[in-house]
Amino acid sequence: MKLVYFASVREAIGLSSEEFDVPQDACTVGDLVVRISARSEDHARALHDLPRLRFALDQNMATADTPLLGAQELAIFPPVTGG
């Protein structure tokens, strides 16, 4: 799966995107984020505050409870601040 990061999450991880092999037992966005956190100290720091994070699965807004269902792209970012 392709992971994409934006804004402060991108900065903290130091990457704008990366590939990630989804473990068989990761069913939801939240499951996956916990696994991604374990990847490095930067990942852990960027993703530790789960309630503050927002997600998009294949470019549709998602929550930690959203099932992955074979999606191709997970985006992780802070609350949006456009306009």
Partner 1 sequence: MKTVRISETAIQPDQELTALAGLGGGALSSFTGLVRDDDGVTAIELEHYPGMTEASLSSLIEAATARWSLLGAVITHRVGIVPVGAPVVVVGTASLHRAEALEATAFLIDRLKTEAPFWKREHYADGTTKWVEAKSSDEARAERWG
Phi, then psi, of 9 in degrees rounded to 5:
-65, -45
Residue placing its CB nearer to partner 1 in the complex, 15 or 27? 15
Of the candidates 58, 46, 54, 59, which has an alpha carbon nearest to the alpha carbon of residue 80? 54
Could you tell me the two tokens for 63? Answer: 């929550």
Nearer Cβ to partner 1 (30/78) = 78
Return the amino acid letter for 30: G
Give least dist CB 78 to partner 1, A.
7
- For residue 5, the minimal CB distance to partner 1 (Å) is 10
Enumerate binding residues for partner 1 (CB under 8 A).
Answer: 4, 6-8, 10, 56, 59-61, 75, 77-83
